[in-house]
Amino acid sequence: MNKTIYALSTAPGTGAIHIVRVSGPKTFDILNKICKTEVFIKHFHIQRNVIWNSKTQKVIDDVLLMKFVAPNTYTGEDLIEINCHGSMQIVHQIFELLAANGAILATPGEFTKRGFLNNKMDLTQAAAVDVLVKSLNPYSRACALASLFGKTSEQLTVFQNEIFQLIGTIEVLIDYPEYEDLEKDLNTWINKTKNLKQKLIAIINQSSRLISINSGFKIAIIGEPNVGKSSLLNALVNKERAIVSNVAGTTRDVIEAYLEINQFSVSLLDTAGIHEHRSQLEKKGIEKTHETIKEANLVILVLDANKKSSRHLEILNDLTRLEKKYILCYNKKDLIKTTQIKPENNCVLISAKNNEINDLIHQIESYLEEYKQSASNLMLNQKWQIDLANQCVYFLDEFEKICMTHPYLDLIIEPLKNANESLLKILGKIQNYDLITEIFKNFCLGK
């Protein structure tokens, strides 16, 4: 980390302003070489200055410099944020000057990685930064913020300390082989680990639900050909995204559209009609439909309210087998008397053609509301954290089994040490180079 790095922290493109972030031991030296007046060292201070090329005497931009002095910065290093006008031409010229004076372009997530390595945050907080930047719903955002402020670390540290204290107790007893109350202690230890395991499993289950919608809430619109799936998608997004036709089987590929419902980014997936395929092209379309169903968080099964069919019962059985939440959506209510439809669970009656879809939107909102419960508990924000937490649960299971079958102190202590290590890895207190590299490579440039 002896190199000074730079990157664009705002999204590329034209805008009001851009922010170029610079961090490292030579930050102030480099800025003094590319600014017209002295960049004096003062923490948490804004200074107006002019970026210029001293060799050509050419002015690049009139900027504001936000200055942060080590160690009290995001990265733990000297850090300056250059607020320039929002032209990418200006940004590129600033980049050229920074590079010419010894700075190097940062890798994805390198600013946060340096903050972690300089003990400005632990690994759960660093991971939360990435989730916060990419959050597409209010619950993921709230959980990421809680982790960023240390709540996840705090609770996991409590769990880790409980395991560590138990390891300490057993290590002391290993030195006293004449100890006789082992059976009583074994029951106490098992009860402790069972209680801890229950809490961890609850966190894992709730976290897994929320992680599944981190990249957006996916809704698959399925049904037989020509029941109005594409019309429904267009009604939901208020524009003609899918081709609407009276010819059955018009949609042979998955069509994706986006909208926002209750601050959730929702991805609508209009699929090929499910039926007995007559061509290779239709077969591929239906295969993609089945893949889409597996990936979806919610399925809308569209039926033609004007036609009798039992085909949907087979589809419902498949959805139940896959443990998929679904809404049964009878379309074309404008063509029937409402008394023709018998109410069912998760059932709505709509007319996509006439944009009468409020009941369906309310149903979708109720499913989104279920994620509020997940967000009310402590959260792990990423899959690698879930995997390590599951490892911890596995080793606690192993501890309990060995206690009951081979209750020798030198044997039962090993799975506890492994469980302890799993939690330390989540917190970043045991550094795994491959894991750290994998985590930060998915970050945005400039973060």
184-197 average pLDDT score? 91
The answer to whether 309 and 284 have CB atoms below 8 angstroms apart is no
Q: Are residues 69 and 192 in the same domain?
A: no
CATH number at residue 14: 3.30.1360.120
Q: What is the pLDDT of residues 97-113, one digit of tens each?
A: 999 999 999 999 999 99
Q: Is the dihedral of CA 126, 128, 131, 132 positive or negative?
A: negative
* Residue 21 is assigned to a ligand binding site: yes
* Residue 157 is assigned to a ligand binding site: no
Q: Are residues 289 and 320 in the same domain?
A: yes
200-210 average pLDDT score? 88
Among 52-56, 138-142, 277-281, the range scoring the smallest mean pLDDT is 277-281
* Residue 150 is assigned to a ligand binding site: no
pLDDT at 277 over 60: no
251: confidence class by pLDDT, cuts 50, 70, 90: very low
Q: What is the pLDDT of residue 345?
A: 66
* Residue 129 is assigned to a ligand binding site: no
* Residue 271 is assigned to a ligand binding site: yes
For residue 3, how many other CB atoms are within 10 A of its CB? 13
Q: What is the pLDDT of residues 370-409, one digit of tens each?
A: 776 655 556 788 899 999 999 999 999 999 999 988 888 8
Q: What is the pLDDT of residue 224?
A: 83
* Residue 245 is assigned to a ligand binding site: yes
Q: Are residues 224 and 370 in the same domain?
A: yes
Helices 151-174, 123-134: inter-axial angle, 10-degree rounding? 150
- Identify whether 117 is part of a domain: no
pLDDT at 361 over 60: yes
* Residue 192 is assigned to a ligand binding site: no
196-204 average pLDDT score? 94
The torsion angles phi and psi of 389, rounded to 5 degrees, stand at: -65, -40
Q: Are residues 156 and 77 in the same domain?
A: no
- Identify whether 446 is part of a domain: no
| Residue 99 one-letter amino acid | A
* Residue 246 is assigned to a ligand binding site: yes
- Identify whether 78 is part of a domain: yes
* Residue 270 is assigned to a ligand binding site: yes
Q: Are residues 177 and 39 in the same domain?
A: no
User: What distance in Å separates the CA atoms of residue 398 and residue 152, rounded to the nearest whole number?
Assistant: 25
Q: Are residues 98 and 245 in the same domain?
A: no
Q: What is the pLDDT of residue 282?
A: 47
Q: What is the pLDDT of residue 240?
A: 59
Q: What is the pLDDT of residues 146-162, one digit of tens each?
A: 889 999 999 999 999 99
Domain final residue, candidates 374, 399, 421: 374
pLDDT at 279 over 50: no
* Residue 251 is assigned to a ligand binding site: yes
- Identify whether 420 is part of a domain: yes
Q: What is the pLDDT of residues 330-356, one digit of tens each?
A: 888 877 765 556 656 678 888 888 888
pLDDT at 241 over 60: no
Residue 163 structural domain: 124-211+381-441
Mean pLDDT over the full length of the chain: 86
175: confidence class by pLDDT, cuts 50, 70, 90: confident
CATH number at residue 163: 1.20.120.430
Q: Are residues 275 and 197 in the same domain?
A: no
43-54 average pLDDT score? 93
- Work out the burial of residue 313: count CB atoms within 10 Å of its CB; fewer than 13 is exposed, 13-18 middle, 19 or more buried: exposed
Q: What is the pLDDT of residue 177?
A: 66
Domain final residue, candidates 315, 350, 374: 374
- Identify whether 353 is part of a domain: yes
118: confidence class by pLDDT, cuts 50, 70, 90: very high
Q: Are residues 297 and 271 in the same domain?
A: yes
Q: What is the pLDDT of residue 286?
A: 58
* Residue 285 is assigned to a ligand binding site: no
Q: Are residues 360 and 323 in the same domain?
A: yes
Q: Are residues 370 and 222 in the same domain?
A: yes
Q: Are residues 192 and 146 in the same domain?
A: yes
- Identify whether 137 is part of a domain: yes
Domain final residue, candidates 342, 374, 406: 374
CATH number at residue 332: 3.40.50.300
Structural domains in the chain (count): 3
User: What distance in Å separates the CA atoms of residue 36 and residue 131, rounded to the nearest whole number?
Assistant: 39
Q: Are residues 248 and 362 in the same domain?
A: yes
- Identify whether 119 is part of a domain: no
* Residue 81 is assigned to a ligand binding site: yes
